[in-house]
């Protein structure tokens, strides 16, 4: 059960990691698309700017060639030229316009060159972002593949664990079914054997519940009480009490009496090795799941005498002593006599 809970927790964690990875992957793909758009814009802008730069350079080149071949008009030429004052002013204004045009052309060339350089940098940055985004997508993709592989592995382990649990439960239920049959057979056998000893029915008032005339066969906590109980969803009637003790603990006779019979695990099945003692007057006690016997049928025993040793034979989930008290062959709660 703990393994299944642990695997379920790991599956949930891996699924959450997968969701987070998908989110990062989507965000990175968005960045890649944005960077690709910016790169395309930069390429278009660079192409246009370079075309404008070529035109400006051609114009500047032509102007420089004209100046070289014809010379550039200067202020002296304007002043010494023919004409009145108005002509001089007109030629001066024209000279200013020529200089302004030349300066504007040169400035446009410089501006276009700066724009080209900036656009090249932006294009390089966009390419870098694209490369980083592609690398990130590759890493996230690898992480996603790894997460999916780990998820499949954990889901496989979870399926195996559930299968193992179902197998174990099926085995327990099978044993319980066998035990139910064993208990019915053992109950009938006990009644038969006790009847064969010739023990007379218990007269009224000979032993009363709660009289405390019996001693505990072993000292330990009660793991399961007398009466109805449910084990792994299976209902049953428990005909005694289970006293938890380490394997090999000496089991002592609750009262003096005669060993009515002993039966090995091979014969009894679910009860394992067990012993029944006839105390006379229809009163008997039985001790199941022993690891070994210490008495034989027909042997007289005293109260407190060792009659066997605790174990986990038969249908058993851990070392303990199954202790029964019977009145005229019918089981009753042992706590009323201890």
The confidence score (pLDDT) of residue 10 equals 72
Which pLDDT belongs to residue 173? 56
Burial class of residue 314, CB neighbours in 10 A (0-12, 13-18, 19+): buried
pLDDT value for 251: 98
Strand-pair partners of 258: 278, 300
122 CB-side CA count, 13 A:
18
Q: Give residue 289's pLDDT.
A: 95
Q: Domain of 323: which CATH number?
A: 2.70.70.10
**Alpha-carbon dihedral sign for residues 12, 13, 16, 18:** negative
The predicted model scores a pTM of: 0.46
Residue 56 belongs to domain with CATH number = 1.10.287.2610
107 and 16 in a common domain: yes
Identify whether residues 159 and 215 lie together within a single domain: no
Q: What is the mean pLDDT of each run of 10 residues along the chain (338 residues)?
A: 69 75 75 73 73 71 63 48 50 55 67 72 74 74 73 74 66 56 60 57 42 87 87 75 95 96 84 92 93 96 97 89 91 92
Domain identity same for 151 and 210: no
Q: Helix, strand or coil for residue 248?
A: coil
Q: Which pLDDT belongs to residue 204?
A: 41
Predicted pLDDT at 75 = 44
Position 202 scores a pLDDT of 42
Q: What is the span of the domain harbouring residue 138?
A: 2-166
Structure tokens at 8: 């379920």
Please answer whether residues 273 and 290 qualify as being in contact, where contact means their C-beta atoms are separated by less than 8 angstroms: yes
Are residues 162 and 219 located together in one domain of the fold?
no
Number of domains in the chain: 2
In this structure, the answer to whether residues 114 and 205 fall within a common structural domain is: no
- Examine the fold and report which residue of 140, 166, 192 is the final residue of a domain before the chain moves on: 166
Contacts for 4-12: CB closer than 8 Å, 24+ residues apart: 4/158, 4/161, 4/162, 4/165, 7/154, 7/157, 7/158, 7/161, 8/158, 10/154, 11/151, 11/154, 11/155, 11/158
Residue 83 domain-assigned (yes or no): yes
- pLDDT recorded at residue 203: 42
Cα Rg for the chain, rounded, in angstroms? 52
């Amino acid at each position: 059960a703990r393994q299944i809970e642990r695997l379920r927790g790991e599956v949930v964690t891996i699924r959450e990691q997968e969701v987070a990875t998908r989110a990062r992957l989507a965000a990175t793909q968005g960045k890649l698309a944005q960077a690709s758009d910016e790169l395309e814009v930069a390429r278009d802008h660079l192409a246009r700017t370079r075309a404008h730069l070529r035109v400006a350079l051609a114009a500047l080149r032509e102007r420089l060639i004209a100046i070289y071949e014809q010379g550039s008009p200067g202020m002296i030429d304007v002043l010494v030229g023919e004409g009145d004052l108005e002509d001089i002013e007109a030629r001066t204004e024209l000279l200013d316009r020529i200089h302004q045009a030349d300066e504007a052309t040169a400035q446009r060339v410089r501006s276009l060159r700066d724009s080209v350089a900036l656009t090249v940098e932006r294009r390089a940055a966009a390419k870098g972002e694209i490369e980083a985004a592609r690398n990130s997508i590759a890493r996230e993709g690898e992480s996603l593949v790894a997460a999916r592989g780990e998820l499949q592995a954990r889901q496989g382990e979870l399926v195996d664990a559930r299968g193992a649990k179902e197998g174990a439960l099926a085995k327990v239920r099978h044993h319980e079914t066998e035990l139910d049959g064993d208990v019915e057979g053992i109950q009938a056998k006990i009644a038969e054997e006790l009847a064969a000893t010739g023990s007379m029915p218990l007269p009224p008032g000979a032993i009363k519940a709660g009289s405390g005339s019996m001693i505990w066969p072993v000292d330990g906590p009660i793991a399961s009480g007398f009466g109805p109980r449910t084990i792994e969803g299976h209902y049953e009637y428990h005909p005694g009490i289970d006293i938890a003790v380490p394997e090999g603990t000496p089991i002592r006779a609750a009262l003096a009496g005669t060993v009515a019979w002993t039966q090995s695990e091979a014969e009894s099945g679910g009860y394992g090795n067990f012993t029944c003692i006839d105390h006379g007057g229809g009163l008997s006690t039985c001790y199941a799941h022993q690891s070994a016997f210490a008495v034989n049928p027909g042997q007289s025993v005293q109260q407190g005498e060792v009659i066997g040793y605790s174990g986990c034979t038969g249908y058993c989930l851990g070392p303990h002593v199954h202790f029964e008290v019977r009145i005229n062959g019918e089981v009753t709660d042992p706590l009323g006599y201890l």
